[in-house]
Amino acid sequence: MNPITDAIRIRTERTNEMEHSSPLFLTSSFVFDNAEEMRAAFADESDDNIYSRFSNPTVQEFVDRMCALEGAESGYATSSGMSAVFASFMTFLKKGDHLISCNAIFGSTHTIITKYLPKYGIEYTYVPANKPEEWKAAIKPNTKMIYIETPTNPGLEIIDLEFAGRLARENNIILNVDNCFATPVNQTPIQFGADIVLHSATKWIDGQGRVLGGVVVGKKELIHEIYMFCRSTGPALSPFNAWVLSKSLETLDVRMERHASNALYIAQKLENHEKISFLKYPYLPSHPQYAIAIKQMKNGGGIICFELKGGLESGRKFLDNLKMFSVTANLGDTRSIASHPASTTHAKLTEQERLAVNITPGLIRISVGLEHRDDILNDILQTLEKL
């Protein structure tokens, strides 16, 4: 079956009620008929569910659908994207290890890498997302993992996954990819050599701004280690959230197609606007890594970013004059969202750190929703007029 079909048709076993839509197993634990069955489950001699921190059929349905979409052998779902990121680091990195990360990453991931990993004796090197020629020199004998986001948040840098996969393989390093911005219907990093792929399912996967969730998928033996870490430390996804997210996967492909076609339309209309000094969208030929984007992504995704000529003050004014857009911290929603990273998600970085990852004072990030494309465009145009 095509993965798009699997994302719709994979489901928990039908119960005796003969329900059409998947049931929700909202339970913290599972019962056994006798002591022997329970002993066998705890001894890993059976696949029986024990406790929802370990496994749950509704959570497993979501994981199985994600594995089908990503082309992964196995997966584990977490309570948020950040718990997926943290689990992927803590499972594989130990004192004395070295992590290479692209420098343009989500703000909280930056905090984990720079504030918490060093507390456990794990060192890191940031490499420029847009200068892959510098990556090889950053590899040390103790480098255990390369961590990347592509497209990056919020600067929309594109990293060549084929290059990153080859570099990791040649040096026996785990390649860990945050695929949140593209989603698996647009880009499948495992195909290019990623060992682990993770998501904030809170974003496009939910797609309607309802629940938090995360997931890590990849090679079976690696995911088993992540499972053992999470089983003991407890960042399990709630079955209710898994049920919501699993339903969302049934429409992910059609939603992302429309998000992307709306985004391309708006990017083309705004590209040469007099109030904008530059605009970035992966599927515009003016994007510096356009050639890589069209090689590894099926479309340009739902995020656009642009720099307002008036800098920080214009950034604030832009948000204040929007009429329809939501001004909120999330992205990947049916409703279009505008944000100003310099004063919000990336405020914890120093000005210098922000500039190093192309977060300029007037940078606006647009998460293009599913409203009519002209309503989205007109709201942006009317606020630009007021600057």
Ligand X SMILES: Cc1ncc(COP(=O)(O)O)c(C=O)c1O
Contacts of 95 (CB under 8 A, 6+ apart): 120, 121, 122
Least distance from ligand X to the Cβ atom of residue 151, Å:
9
Binding mask 93-132 for ligand X (x = CB under 6 A): -------------x--------------------------
Q: What is the spatial distance between Cα 271 and Cα 263, in angstroms, rounded to a whole number? A: 12
Q: Which stretch binds ligand X (CB under 6 A): 61-69, 74-82, 115-123, 257-265?
A: 74-82
Query: Six-digit token pair at 342?
Result: 């310099």
| Dihedral (CA of 92, 93, 95, 100) sign | positive
206 or 253: CB nearest ligand X: 206
199 or 275: CB nearest ligand X: 199
82 or 127: CB nearest ligand X: 82
**Cβ atoms 314, 375 nearer than 8 A:** no
Ranges within 168-197 binding ligand X (CB under 6 A): 178, 180-181
Contacts of 30 (CB under 8 A, 6+ apart): 48, 49, 50, 51
**Cβ atoms 340, 374 nearer than 8 A:** no
Ranges within 242-271 binding ligand X (CB under 6 A): none
Contact between 202 and ligand X (CB under 6 A)?
Answer: yes
Least distance from ligand X to the Cβ atom of residue 355, Å:
20
**Which member of 214, 301, 315, 361 binds ligand X (CB under 6 A)?**
214
Q: What are phi and psi of 5, to 5 degrees?
A: -70, -45
Q: Which stretch binds ligand X (CB under 6 A): 61-69, 77-85, 313-321, 360-368?
A: 77-85
Least distance from ligand X to the Cβ atom of residue 80, Å:
3
Contacts of 207 (CB under 8 A, 6+ apart): 248, 251, 252, 255, 332, 333, 334
Contact between 150 and ligand X (CB under 6 A)?
Answer: no
CB atoms closer than 10 angstroms to residue 17: 6
Contact between 81 and ligand X (CB under 6 A)?
Answer: yes
**Which member of 22, 103, 153, 176 binds ligand X (CB under 6 A)?**
153
Helix (H, G, I), strand (E, B) or coil at 246: helix
Q: What is the spatial distance between Cα 89 and Cα 86, in angstroms, rounded to a whole number? A: 5
Contact between 60 and ligand X (CB under 6 A)?
Answer: no
104 or 276: CB nearest ligand X: 104
Contacts of 18 (CB under 8 A, 6+ apart): none
Q: Shortest CA distance to 188 belongs to which of 75, 85, 296?
A: 296
Closest residue by beta carbon to ligand X: 81
Least distance from ligand X to the Cβ atom of residue 231, Å:
20
Q: Which stretch binds ligand X (CB under 6 A): 46-54, 75-83, 182-190, 347-355?
A: 75-83
**Which member of 55, 58, 80, 103 binds ligand X (CB under 6 A)?**
80
140 or 210: CB nearest ligand X: 210
Q: Any idea what DSSP says for residue 22?
A: P
Q: Which stretch binds ligand X (CB under 6 A): 79-87, 273-281, 333-341, 373-381?
A: 79-87
81 or 315: CB nearest ligand X: 81
Q: Shortest CA distance to 104 belongs to which of 284, 288, 276?
A: 288
Binding mask 323-362 for ligand X (x = CB under 6 A): ----------------------------------------
Residue type, 289: Q
Q: What is the spatial distance between Cα 357 and Cα 229, in angstroms, rounded to a whole number? A: 32
Q: Shortest CA distance to 178 belongs to which of 146, 148, 156?
A: 148
Binding footprint of ligand X on the chain (CB under 6 A): 80-82, 106, 149, 153, 178, 180-181, 200, 202, 212, 214
